[in-house]
Amino acid sequence: MKLLEFEAKKIFSGYGIPVPKAACIRRPGEIPSVLPEIGGAVVLKAQVDVGGRGKSGGILIADAGTAEETARELFARTIKGVPVEEILVEERLPIEREYYLSISVDRSSKQPIILFADAGGVDIETAARERPDAVRKATVTPLLREVPPFLLRELVGGAPRGIGQIINRLYRVFLEKDALLAEINPLVTTPSGLYAADAKLIIDDNALARQGISVNRDLTEREQEAEKYGFSYVELDGTIGVIGNGAGLTMSTLDLIEFYSGKAANFLDVGGGADQERVMHAVRLVASMPSVKVIVVNLLGGITRCDDVARGIVDAGVPQQVFVRLAGTNEEEGKRLLAGHGYTMFESMDLAVRAAVEVSQ
């Protein structure tokens, strides 16, 4: 789950990483009460979870006299389709230099990886391509709770020494908050020292419970509903609803829809144990998305009982046509049950998907 900038900064600050003086407001009218603390020269930053926020008009500069009016203007905007509900009012820093710092999970080495670059405020992938020597990387064994000094020296190079301490503090945030990404971009130097001018923190969805986070805000309502049943569910923008067991098979079903020139509206992975009740809930959930015109069910498993699945589909009783591919035990019984209720069962996923795409068009 992605945290917003002000939430990430609050956490970073709690670990001793300096952040600019700031306050989060929900109405322009709050400006006069927060300005005395922050000072006159401010930056107003929309708290929206979109990439390229600055370029999309989500960050505005103001002074004491213009701050309230500027806040009103920013609240009235939508940033890449997202309405602005909160604004971070922040002191404008006298920036000398900008750096990039992040810690993320490196799939190749199976370890945390630290990236430091003396080119901040930019897209790090672009920076790495254009000036590979500007980006320094180090992986750290997850068995250590801190970054060893020799690695800090390698990473920081000729940049201000204080950055090493910030790297270590960010590393603690990364470990203790179960982060997939902890990023400061830019990390800036000013006459009064180093500051995290922006902050990004993504928490591992599999660790939300132990981090005390009860609701994953990144999910839509229907996605949250799906999570309650232990389904993985994702919404897309086509017209075919997809149910499968196992993420790979479900993805493969989506690809097959595209192969036959159809478009999927959503997909739901029922996971292990596709019994009658779970299948019923799955079919109803997928069908409840208004854009779903037809549904493909593609279930394969050694222990999946096709008759149970068939009963679940029949129980769901959704108005859309359902195209079913089932392989498992009691296949014949399942086929008979489905046929008795006007549903068709197909021998292969290719056939089921092709039939569904035809009807969807």
Partner 1 sequence: MIYGDRDLGVIVQGATGKQGVFHIALMNEYARVVGGRGVVAGVTPGKGGQEAGGVPVYGSVQEALREHDATASVLFVPAAAACDSIMEAAHAGIELIVAITEHIPVHDTMKSIAYATLCGCEVIGPNCPGILSPGECKLGIMPAHLFSRGNVGVVSRSGTLTYEVVDELSRAGIGQSTVVGIGGDPVIGQTFADVLERFETDPQTEAVVVIGEVGGNLEEEGIRSTDMPVVAYIAGVSAPPEKRMGHAGAIIEGGEGDARSKVRRLAAMGVPIASRPSEIPGLVRELL
Residues in the chain: 361
Rounded to a whole number of angstroms, the minimum distance from the CB of residue 234 to partner 1 is 5
Rounded to whole angstroms, the Cα distance separating 344 from 298 reads 12
Residue in the structure block whose two tokens are 């203007």: 73
Give strand pairing partners of 60.
44
* 183 carries an active-site annotation: yes
Q: Which of 5, 90, 100, 233 is catalytic?
A: 100
DSSP 286-320: HHTSTT--EEEEEEEEEEEEHHHHHHHHHHH--SS
Neighbouring C-alpha atoms within 13 Å toward the C-beta of 47: 21
Nearer to partner 1, 135 or 264 (CB): 264
DSSP 243-286: EESSHHHHHHHHHHHHHTT--EEEEEE--S---HHHHHHHHHHH
Rounded to a whole number of angstroms, the minimum distance from the CB of residue 264 to partner 1 is 7
Nearer to partner 1, 82 or 207 (CB): 207
User: Beta 179-190 vs 193-196: how paired, if at all?
Assistant: antiparallel
Rounded to whole angstroms, the Cα distance separating 328 from 131 reads 54
Neighbouring C-alpha atoms within 13 Å toward the C-beta of 114: 28
289 touches 222 (CB < 8 A) = yes
Rounded to a whole number of angstroms, the minimum distance from the CB of residue 57 to partner 1 is 21
Nearer to partner 1, 248 or 319 (CB): 248
Rounded to a whole number of angstroms, the minimum distance from the CB of residue 300 to partner 1 is 5
Rounded to a whole number of angstroms, the minimum distance from the CB of residue 196 to partner 1 is 20
Rounded to whole angstroms, the Cα distance separating 92 from 60 reads 11
Rounded to whole angstroms, the Cα distance separating 32 from 26 reads 13
247 Cβ neighbours under 8 A, 6+ residues apart: 232, 269
Nearer to partner 1, 152 or 268 (CB): 268
Q: Where are the alpha helices (DSSP H) in 79-148?
A: 124-130
Interface residues with partner 1 (CB under 8 A) are 105, 107-108, 110-112, 125, 141-143, 175, 178, 180, 204-207, 210, 232, 234, 236, 244-252, 254-259, 264, 267, 269, 300-303, 327, 348-350
210 touches 220 (CB < 8 A) = no
Rounded to a whole number of angstroms, the minimum distance from the CB of residue 162 to partner 1 is 27
Rounded to a whole number of angstroms, the minimum distance from the CB of residue 157 to partner 1 is 24
Q: Which of 183, 195, 223, 233 is catalytic?
A: 183
The amino acid that residue 203 corresponds to is I
What SS3 class is residue 82? Answer: strand
Active site residues: 100, 183
